[in-house]
């Protein structure tokens, strides 16, 4: 007993001596205790732990002290407070005071006073950034804890207990609890094998480049939206990442751009890196439930290690890894149901009949202004079959409306099931995952099934040698409805009786041979099957301290089979007399990548940290395909499965293709950090591409970036509300070689026509041996900050890019014998700004509320084109609205006549003195183009102008999360502003004739002599050549701005009393997806346009782990 007392006394004196050496200089009035403790931590380096509920009972304090001992200051602020404290090492532990009740309680209190306080500490990454959600477990005991937003944790542990600290994407650490090392400052090292913050194409290098512009999407964020498509889950999560859902086709790909469009002709999509494997095949075959994180690299510094493949940004995918410990089984499944929504409001049969009548009557009165309009309608329109067939007239008068869309749509159903196994020992870890999804779309015969499996395994062969593999297999099976069936149904004649005996749509009793019966189009069998194997296999050695050697061999093998059969008895075959058409396409792409690297990392004199690497990469891609088309089958039962049965030998065709390309790269990079304040990254990369001739094959691409963490400076230490402030700046050069293989050669392809074999220039392209790398110079300035105990964090970036020697198609004179040549012949620039934030608005022991969001703006401009021209028309047609190029203007500009109002009767005298393009005539109620130069002539050369752009002015997303006890609520929104869209379906519905198809409800607002105050032109049915139509003007151009509620979800974690001991957790959830959209867009959807329709869906899910 005496010996124990002596130990306690010595320990107390040691702590007291150390504590008394700390002094406080501070003043304040009516300050809450948590703010005081934050100031203590900043001045002394001590860590203060307390229960928030205890502080709610404490009083605010006022004080003014200078160089006062820490213990004395604590005594002052805690006097007359319901709290007491204990100090151990550099940890201050607060607890509520308790009044002694009896001798047993007093003994317990006495024991607690002399017992060591809870083990406390902070979890950070190798750069000192806090890791939220790290797991701290005591081996051999059923006791765990987790770190908060600042990386801090507490856990009840005894001396000599073994703590295991783990976090997804980082190496697990174990440490023994002692009395002397407190608080525990645990710095986790990023894993060397899975690209989660450290590996880039097999190189041991930070992925979240501290000096570059990087956006991160966590596993939790990916799960906010219940979907089987990873790209959809990424939408609106990262500033500058623009994802457009231009079609909701099951298994379809989405369009992705990072920081806008940065090249005119070749290359707008980013490159994907999946566990170190560079890929350009997209993400649709990946299971979101296997993804640990997604990082978006946006500037030259962060993308420098990818050189020629990174000019449009990089998306890094990190899959999940196993953790050391007992094996875990987890399941995540959901069921989604959806239904077609009739957002294109069209007129019924009677209203459609009225519009057509009005259109013909207006045309007649234009030609016969003194005629009797009502007599013409009665005798000629309704009295004969010239305007309405007997069938159309009967249906119109009876208001029997044929809705062809109903014949193609159904209730959509999607199911998804993911089952994962993970675990590991001291030397090995594993993750095994399986997924099955089945999406039956809302359009008949549209479906997508996917099965995938993954195994990620790693083992420590020796203390200095580690080997592992990340391997996955996936198979997708897609059924498609004929592309034109949906569009035909949208434009189907509302006055024609629906039946399957007619092969075509009819107008005025005449078959429209280009509009096939959409119901019969369901008889076309169209199917796509694709298989993909991704494997990354690596060996890593650490032969000497701080020296790492790594080699990895990766492969991406993609097989695709596409087939369709058009039966002989439907309109498509009968019109072209094909007797049934079978088609097959089969192709394979093999990509192999071998990476080797040497890296060295060391800290000198405690403040100087250096990381250096040298790496090389060799990659090769081979693609081959074969296509077959056969006509006139003896029976439709064979389909495309037996192409040899096609008997039309003259029209049958067979083709094949083989292409290969290779890339050799060398990379050098140095990272230097001084005192965690100043960071410098310098990279140089040299690439050699087989897509260029020997003389132009190599390109060198350097980059440099720096960062300054101001909050590490002494002059910033007393700003208590500012937790982090970092300034970043970077510049670099990237290259682009995303052009077809052999563009520097003139290549020929065999052709077979009427029994004659010949050779023609492939794609009619003339080779150019002088083409070389497209070059992109980037500049980026950014700031990262967090305030108020890291409750609010934000990041902002400003960037500028300039592309020179742009690779694009240069049209050649037809007499030359070739259509075009690829050349380095243009310049453009792109600039923009991005901002994102995350705020913890409220947090108590039972409730939390978080809000996050982002916004981005980018704007490109063409600086020069080839041949000194300032305009290039799409296809040489000046009347093309889309695809034109203008020096000094943005890409994707729209070009047409501008209309600001409709012509009225009072304009006729002025219009009579004007001349119009192509001898057009403008009458009251017609579109009236603006005379841009005021010369009294409306000409294409002088009066067509830029009327908008298909790219948004700014875009982004935001989300909010509420958690109360075992309930969670998430809301995700995405938005876009300023884009314009040409929607030809809407234009057809508004063409003012209601001829073959229906009319939009906006036609009820059309101009008439008694309704002149409108923007909707009059109905008109003439010869179609003497009026300015929507396709020539900005009138039909739609504002595609929108705010979409992507998802609202509610989750519930079942309590432990219900879950039982067999399960770690069980949760259920429900979600409404694409619940509503706020938009001025008058078409079906501002994102999908006239493509496969987006619709609202409802999801119900179940998750559990054991």
Please tell me the predicted confidence (pLDDT) of residue 396.
92
Q: How far apart are CA 629 and CA 654, in angstroms?
A: 7
Please tell me the predicted confidence (pLDDT) of residue 15.
39
Is 50 exceeded by the pLDDT of residue 491? yes
The answer to whether the CB of 384 falls within 8 A of the CB of 357 is no
Is 90 exceeded by the pLDDT of residue 371? yes
Please tell me the predicted confidence (pLDDT) of residue 378.
92
| Lowest-confidence region among 167-176, 478-487, 880-889 | 167-176
Q: Which of 993, 996, 1014, 995 is nearest to 1005 (CA)?
A: 1014
The rounded mean pLDDT for the chain is 84
Q: What is the tens place of the pLDDT at every residue in 541-571?
A: 999 988 999 999 999 999 999 999 999 899 8
Please tell me the predicted confidence (pLDDT) of residue 1.
41
Cα torsion through 1025, 1028, 1029, 1032, rounded to 10: 110
Q: How far apart are CA 346 and CA 169, in angstroms?
A: 53
Q: What does DSSP say about strands 119-124 and 184-187: parallel, antiparallel, or unpaired?
A: parallel
**Confidence band for 193, pLDDT divided at 50, 70 and 90:** very low
| Lowest-confidence region among 55-59, 672-676, 1069-1073 | 55-59
Is 70 exceeded by the pLDDT of residue 104? no
| Lowest-confidence region among 167-181, 542-556, 894-908, 1038-1052 | 167-181
Q: What is the tens place of the pLDDT at every residue in 883-903?
A: 888 999 998 899 999 998 999
Please tell me the predicted confidence (pLDDT) of residue 307.
64
The answer to whether the CB of 226 falls within 8 A of the CB of 1073 is yes
Please tell me the predicted confidence (pLDDT) of residue 110.
42
Residue matched to tokens 């007359």: 80
Q: How far apart are CA 610 and CA 790, in angstroms?
A: 28
Structural tokens at position 44: 């002394």
Residues 6 or more apart whose CB falls under 8 angstroms from that of 369 comprise none
| Lowest-confidence region among 15-19, 500-504, 638-642 | 15-19
The three state secondary structure string of 149-174 is CCCEEEECCCCCCEEEEECCCECCEE
- Of residues 155 and 182, the one with the higher pLDDT is 155
Please tell me the predicted confidence (pLDDT) of residue 684.
92
Is 90 exceeded by the pLDDT of residue 772? yes
Please tell me the predicted confidence (pLDDT) of residue 300.
77
Please tell me the predicted confidence (pLDDT) of residue 994.
66
Q: Which of 608, 598, 564 is nearest to 583 (CA)?
A: 564
Q: What is the tens place of the pLDDT at every residue in 414-442?
A: 999 999 999 988 889 999 999 999 999 99
Please tell me the predicted confidence (pLDDT) of residue 530.
92
Predicted TM-score (pTM) of the model is 0.77
Is 50 exceeded by the pLDDT of residue 113? no
Facing residues of 49 across strands? 93
| Lowest-confidence region among 16-25, 65-74, 780-789, 846-855 | 16-25
| Lowest-confidence region among 595-604, 1014-1023, 1058-1067 | 1058-1067
Is 50 exceeded by the pLDDT of residue 105? no
Q: Which of 908, 938, 939 is nearest to 923 (CA)?
A: 908
Q: How far apart are CA 408 and CA 232, in angstroms?
A: 25
Q: What is the tens place of the pLDDT at every residue in 208-251?
A: 345 777 888 887 777 777 777 787 888 878 888 888 777 777 87
Facing residues of 526 across strands? 480, 564
The C-alpha angle with vertex 975 and arms to 266 and 955, in degrees rounded to 5, equals 45
Q: What is the tens place of the pLDDT at every residue in 801-836?
A: 999 998 988 888 777 778 888 999 899 999 999 999
Q: How far apart are CA 992 and CA 1011, in angstroms?
A: 15
DSSP, residue by residue, 584-600: EEEEEEEEEEEEEEEEE
The answer to whether the CB of 733 falls within 8 A of the CB of 701 is yes
* Residue extents of the structural domains in the chain: 2-114, 119-187, 349-400+483-523+992-1024, 902-945
Is 60 exceeded by the pLDDT of residue 205? no
Q: What is the tens place of the pLDDT at every residue in 725-742?
A: 999 999 999 888 888 888
Coil vs helix vs strand at 276: coil
Q: What is the mean pLDDT of the segment spanning 523-536? A: 92
Please tell me the predicted confidence (pLDDT) of residue 532.
93
DSSP, residue by residue, 1024-1069: SSSS--GGGBSTTEEE--EEEEEEEEEEEEPPHHHH-SS-SEEEEE
So what CATH class is 2-114?
alpha beta
Burial class from Cβ neighbours inside 10 Å (0-12, 13-18, 19+) for residue 839 reads middle
Is 60 exceeded by the pLDDT of residue 719? yes
* Domain formed by 119-187, architecture: Sandwich (2.60)
Please tell me the predicted confidence (pLDDT) of residue 269.
80
- Of residues 521 and 326, the one with the higher pLDDT is 521
Q: Which of 495, 510, 509, 511 is nearest to 354 (CA)?
A: 495
Q: Which of 509, 482, 484 is nearest to 495 (CA)?
A: 509
**Confidence band for 306, pLDDT divided at 50, 70 and 90:** confident
Is 60 exceeded by the pLDDT of residue 16? no
DSSP, residue by residue, 768-801: -TT---EEEEEEEEEEEEEETTTTEEEEEEEEEE
Please tell me the predicted confidence (pLDDT) of residue 117.
60
| Lowest-confidence region among 131-140, 327-336, 891-900, 1041-1050 | 131-140
Residues 6 or more apart whose CB falls under 8 angstroms from that of 1099 comprise 226, 334, 335, 336, 1049, 1069, 1070, 1071, 1072, 1073
Of all residues in the chain, the percent with pLDDT exceeding 90 is 36
Q: How far apart are CA 273 and CA 194, in angstroms?
A: 11
Q: What is the tens place of the pLDDT at every residue in 635-677?
A: 888 888 888 888 888 888 888 888 999 999 999 999 998 888 8
**Confidence band for 169, pLDDT divided at 50, 70 and 90:** low
Residues 6 or more apart whose CB falls under 8 angstroms from that of 379 comprise none
Is 50 exceeded by the pLDDT of residue 38? yes
Residues 6 or more apart whose CB falls under 8 angstroms from that of 815 comprise none
Is 90 exceeded by the pLDDT of residue 682? yes
Structural tokens at position 1029: 């139509």
């Amino acid at each position: 007993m005496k010996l124990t007392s002596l130990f306690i006394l010595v320990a107390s004196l040691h702590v007291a001596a150390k504590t008394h050496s700390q002094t406080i200089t501070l003043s304040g009035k009516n300050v809450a205790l948590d703010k005081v403790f934050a100031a203590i931590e900043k001045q002394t380096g001590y860590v203060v732990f307390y229960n928030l509920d205890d502080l709610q009972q404490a009083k605010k304090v006022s004080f003014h002290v200078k160089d006062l001992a820490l213990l004395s200051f604590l005594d002052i602020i805690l006097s007359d407070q319901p709290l007491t404290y204990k100090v151990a090492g550099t940890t201050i532990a607060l607890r509520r005071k308790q009044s002694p009740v009896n001798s047993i309680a007093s003994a317990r209190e006495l024991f607690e006073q002399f017992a060591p306080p809870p083990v406390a500490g902070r979890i950070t990454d190798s750069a000192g950034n806090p890791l939220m959600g790290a797991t701290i477990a005591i081996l051999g005991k059923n006791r765990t804890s987790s770190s908060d937003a600042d990386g801090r944790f507490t856990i009840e542990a005894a001396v000599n207990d073994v703590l295991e600290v783990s976090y997804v994407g980082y190496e697990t650490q174990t440490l023994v609890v002692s009395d002397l090392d407190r608080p525990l400052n645990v710095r986790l090292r990023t894993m060397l094998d899975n690209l989660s913050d450290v590996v880039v194409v097999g190189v041991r290098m930070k992925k979240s480049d501290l000096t570059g512009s990087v956006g991160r999407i966590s596993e939790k964020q990916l799960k906010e939206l219940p979907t089987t498509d990873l790209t959809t889950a990424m939408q609106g999560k990262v500033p500058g990442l623009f994802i457009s859902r231009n079609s909701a086709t099951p298994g379809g790909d989405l369009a992705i751009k990072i920081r806008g469009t940065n090249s005119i002709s070749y290359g707008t999509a980013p490159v994907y890196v999946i566990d170190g494997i560079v890929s350009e095949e997209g993400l649709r075959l990946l299971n979101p439930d296997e993804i640990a994180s997604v990082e978006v690299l946006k500037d030259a510094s962060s993308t420098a290690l990818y050189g020629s493949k990174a000019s449009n940004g990089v998306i890094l995918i990190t899959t999940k890894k196993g953790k050391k410990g007992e094996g875990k089984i987890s399941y995540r499944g959901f069921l989604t149901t959806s239904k077609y929504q009739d957002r294109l409001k069209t007129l019924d049969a009677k209203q459609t009949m009225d519009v057509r009548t009005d259109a013909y009557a207006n045309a007649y009165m234009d030609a016969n202004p003194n005629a009797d309009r009502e007599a013409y309608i009665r005798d000629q329109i309704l009295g004969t079959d010239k305007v309405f067939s007997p069938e159309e007239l009967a249906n119109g008068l009876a208001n029997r409306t044929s809705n062809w869309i109903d014949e193609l749509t159904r209730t959509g159903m999607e199911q998804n099931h993911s089952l994962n196994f993970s675990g590991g020992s001291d030397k090995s870890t594993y993750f095994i995952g399986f997924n099955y999804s089945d999406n039956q779309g809302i359009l008949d015969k549209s479906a997508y099934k996917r099965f995938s499996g993954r195994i990620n395994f790693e083992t420590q062969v020796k203390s200095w040698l580690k080997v592992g593999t990340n391997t996955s297999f996936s198979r997708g099976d897609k059924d498609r409805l004929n592309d034109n069936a949906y569009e035909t149904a949208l434009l189907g004649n509302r006055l024609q009786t629906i039946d399957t005996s007619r092969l075509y749509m009819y107008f005025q009793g005449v078959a429209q041979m280009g509009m096939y019966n959409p119901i019969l189009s369901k008889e076309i069998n169209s199917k796509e099957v694709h298989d993909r194997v991704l494997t990354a296999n690596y060996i890593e050695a650490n032969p000497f301290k701080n020296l790492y050697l790594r080699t990895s061999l990766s492969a991406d093998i993609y097989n695709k089979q596409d087939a369709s059969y058009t039966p002989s008895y439907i309109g498509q075959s009968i019109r072209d007399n094909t007797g049934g058409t079978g088609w097959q396409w089969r192709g394979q792409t093999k990509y192999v990548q071998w990476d080797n690297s040497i890296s060295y990392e060391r800290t000198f004199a405690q403040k100087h940290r250096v990381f250096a690497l040298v790496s090389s990469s060799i990659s090769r891609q081979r693609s081959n395909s074969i296509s077959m088309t056969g006509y006139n089958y003896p029976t439709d039962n064979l389909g495309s499965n037996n192409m040899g049965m096609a008997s039309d030998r003259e029209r049958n065709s067979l083709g094949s293709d083989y292409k290969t390309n290779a890339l050799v790269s060398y990379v050098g990079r140095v990272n230097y950090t001084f005192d965690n304040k100043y960071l410098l990254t310098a990279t140089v990369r040299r690439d050699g591409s087989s897509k260029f001739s020997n003389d132009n094959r190599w390109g060198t691409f350097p980059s440099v970036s720096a960062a300054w963490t101001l909050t590490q400076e002494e002059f910033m230490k007393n700003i208590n509300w500012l937790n982090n402030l970092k300034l970043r700046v970077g510049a670099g050069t990237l290259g682009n070689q995303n052009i077809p293989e052999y563009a520097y050669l003139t290549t020929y392809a065999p052709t077979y026509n009427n029994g004659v074999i010949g050779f023609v220039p492939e794609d009619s392209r003339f080779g150019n041996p002088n083409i070389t790398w497209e070059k992109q110079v980037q500049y980026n300035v950014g700031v990262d900050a967090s305030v108020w105990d890291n409750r609010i964090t934000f990041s902002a970036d400003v960037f500028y890019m300039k592309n020179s020697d742009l690779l694009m198609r240069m049209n050649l004179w037809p007499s030359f014998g070739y259509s075009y040549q690829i050349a380095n012949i243009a310049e453009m620039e792109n600039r923009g700004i991005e901002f994102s934030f995350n705020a913890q608005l409220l947090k108590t022991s039972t409730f939390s509320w978080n809000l996050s969001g982002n916004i981005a703006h980018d704007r490109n401009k063409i600086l020069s084109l080839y041949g000194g021209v300032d305009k290039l028309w799409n296809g040489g047609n000046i009347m093309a609205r889309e695809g034109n190029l203008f020096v000094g203007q943005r890409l994707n500009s729209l070009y047409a006549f501008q209309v600001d109002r409709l012509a009225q009767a009072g304009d006729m005298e002025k219009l009579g003195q004007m001349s119009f393009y192509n001898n057009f005539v403008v009458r009251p109620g017609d579109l009236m183009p603006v005379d841009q130069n005021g010369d009294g002539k409306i000409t294409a050369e002088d009066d067509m102008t830029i009327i908008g752009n298909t790219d948004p002015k700014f875009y982004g997303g935001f989300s909010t999360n509420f958690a109360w006890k075992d309930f969670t609520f998430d809301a995700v929104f995405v938005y876009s502003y300023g884009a314009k869209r040409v929607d030809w379906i809407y234009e057809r519905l508004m063409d003012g004739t209601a001829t073959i198809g229906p009319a939009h409800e906006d036609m009820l607002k059309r101009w008439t002599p008694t309704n002149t105050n409108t923007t909707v032109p009059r109905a008109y049915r003439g010869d179609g050549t003497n009026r300015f139509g929507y396709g020539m003007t900005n009138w039909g151009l739609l504002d595609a701005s929108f705010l979409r509620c992507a998802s609202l979800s509610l989750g519930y974690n079942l309590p432990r009393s219900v879950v039982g001991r067999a399960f770690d957790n069980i949760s259920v959830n429900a979600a409404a997806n694409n619940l509503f959209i706020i938009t001025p867009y008058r078409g079906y959807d501002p994102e999908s346009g006239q493509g496969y329709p987006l619709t609202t869906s409802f999801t119900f899910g179940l998750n559990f782990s054991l």
